[in-house]
Structure 1
Amino acid sequence: MIVSEANFDGLIGPTHNYAGLSLGNVASALHAGQASYPRQAALQGLQKMKSLMDMGLTQGVFLPPLRPVTGLLHHIGYKGDDKTILTQAAKDDRQLFNNLCSASSMWAANAATVIAAPDSDDGRVHFIAANLATMLHRHLEAKTTYNQLNQIFSNSCFFAIHHPLPCGQHFSDEGAANHMRITSAHSNTGLNIFVYGEKNDVFPARQKLRASQAVARLGEVKSDQTWFIPQNKEAIAKGAFHNDVVAVANEYVLLAHAEAFENQGEWIDRISQKIDGFIPVIIDDITLEQAVKSYLFNSQLVTLKDRTMALILPREVKNDPAVWETVNRIIGGNNPINKAVVVDVRESMSNGGGPACLRLRVPLSKSALAAVDQRYILNNERWEKLCELVENFWPEKITPDDLVAPELWKSAVRAHWALTSWLG
């Protein structure tokens, strides 16, 4: 069975803004209150998708949910039409209102954890939608994410879609950003590594061990193929709020900062004994602060048609000469990574999400890919149409004051209907 990896990116929504809602995310806090550029943001994300398409890789898309969301306001006692309750909420509780406007669903790496078919007991691809319980603006995505996964991967012969875990920090689950699969090839059985956060004195650990254990059970991962590794506390304290800020894996290659995990050397040795041909590329010549600022490890690591690998990097890696020198050493080293593709995702980066945050990796056989709802798989025509919709319906600029303007809410509705009409 031939299995390759599809990347499903989140289309950046028309209310993309910088409200600084994500505690522990350094970039989010740094840019809070600044003007954002939703049209540019969405086009940057689409251009990254096109870069992967041009490499011959399968590229899918997730559509953003309608924002601002009003269901929560009804649930907590607000009465009236959408305009009335949104206007009142903006006056009563601006922080709550900002949560309702977030476009954070763009970061599809947090949408779900994906268990590959070769790793599950029933031979299907399993999706466990993330509850994103730590942050309200992210948790508001959980239901719509589950529904969209059911729409795209509806064929139960190939796919199993699981509800998010119970809400609450006991089961805080932030999806594939804390899950790595290491295998000799996408089509072979792999080692599923779930990285969880332990308590620290600075920022909340967003991925709980019990949540990762529950995800593994739901995904029917074979017990001997499941490991749980604690994230380095110092990495969390320095701003690595997810594992994918300090580590990325693809097939038999692991690219990681030297301080990504607790007891890292022991874990690397164990993986080497488990996976034939395992190649760890461990970086110890840049600091955690440099890693977090540049998002070097939040690059996409992909396998190309010729079986070599490429890093899809944010352009911020070029801002620090030491980081860029590290990139050149990686692609010139004794490993399969021999290509670096720099992309501009500045608008996402300013809110704390790099190339890897924007995508969910889905290993698919040819038959499973054919069973996917093809409206969500991009070709040149679909990609061009999405670019046209963004140009026509996404606002050029949003300031904090713009968020409370009813005209912005109306434009978001128009953009949402344009997308659903395109989808058919």
Structure 2
Amino acid sequence: MQASLRLLNKRRFLPLFVTQLLGAFNDNLFKNAMVLFVVYQVYNDERSETWFSALATGIFILPFFLLSALSGQLADQRDKAGIIRIIKAAEIAIMAVGAAGLAFIWSGIAVHMLAIPLLLTALFAMGVHSTFFGPIKYAILPQHLHDEEVLGGTGLVEAGTYIAILAGTILAGIIPIEAAAIGIILTALIGYMAGRAVPPAPSLLETQPIDFHVIRSSVTLVRGTMHIRRLFLAIMSISLFWAVGSILFIQFPPLVKNVLSADKPVASLFLAIFSIGIAIGSIAINRLLRGEVSARFAPASVIGMGLCIVAFHIVCDLWTSGPEGELLTLSGFLAHPLAIALSLCLLGVATFGGMFVVPLYAFLTTTVEKCEAARTVAANNIVNSGAMVVGSLLAIGLSFAGVTVINQLLLVALLSLPCAWLAWKLHKACDGIPCH
């Protein structure tokens, strides 16, 4: 672990780490400030709240499905550091639009006609921003780091990402929405400055024409990647994991409000605990594997995640809320006799999730040629985003079918079984042989 942390004083790693950390922070400060305000201040029933939370999630991940092939081509064909600078400059303009939406909704000006459309437009644009940054932040690691540093670097990137999600999520729940509007613009400006310090990472391929036909290029990219058995198994495992993750993130705000009868800071706490758990799992699996890229712990990790979701469901079912119409404050929630058990279950879900997914991301970038890493990550993002869209639609469909948020947790837990099976197949496919 100390060897991995030493990467933080290297210019070949630190500016990228800071840039992606600030980007993840800004995504989550903006998205959660928006969702929590709408859930707690605009809508007043579980179905509408779940619908809006799912819509926001779907809008954010839709660009990953549409544009990942283009982003992978650009990342492999152009200097990755140069693309980072363009992406971070665009973030400043996107956050200006988002800040305007937050200002309108806080002021109560044209909430449904103008404020919410502006917020969703900015959210979609941030999805585009993350779509183009995603392949770079993983594919640049094998180019800047030594082979034995890649797993540690990937773990730090994942841990840093979820620490940033934690910070953005906590702030979104406790600061006024007008402060969030200012914060997202300032963070975008600092992120742009950090991005300018990322060392050059020129293309390792001969220049080839870019296919701007998003459907054709997406189909070509996925087909060219998924026919390789080990990549197919890794990508499908990650995609099922994120389908589970998307449903959980959609459920948290309405679950906290309607099942636990708790206020906005508690919803923020739930997302924060989830982020802490992913960060813990990211670091723990790096210690267990000692720098080796392997899926051998993945099946047990995702089964552990599923069992913790079941335990989380049981505790939620046993939860007794206060007087009707009154929401528990953060201190009131923490004083509840089941609060610690509920928090530990959620922490377990996220920790096992981090242990499951981090080695698989490292696997994607280290078992292909360095010049193909960005496109491999992009193909993964396309399939992941498709799975997350399906997860969002499933959450909406179950809500409209009358399945309560608390009972949806059991259906989510069942998805850990196919995840474990795919991860076991991946481990067996690469057991004892170099997967290059």
Bucket of the pairwise TM-score, normalised by the shorter protein: under 0.3
More strand by share: 1
Q: What TM-score, normalized to structure 2?
A: 0.25
Provide the TM-score with structure 1 as the length reference.
Answer: 0.25
Higher helix share goes to which structure? 2
Relative contact order (alpha carbons < 8 A, sep ≥ 6): 1 or 2 greater? 2
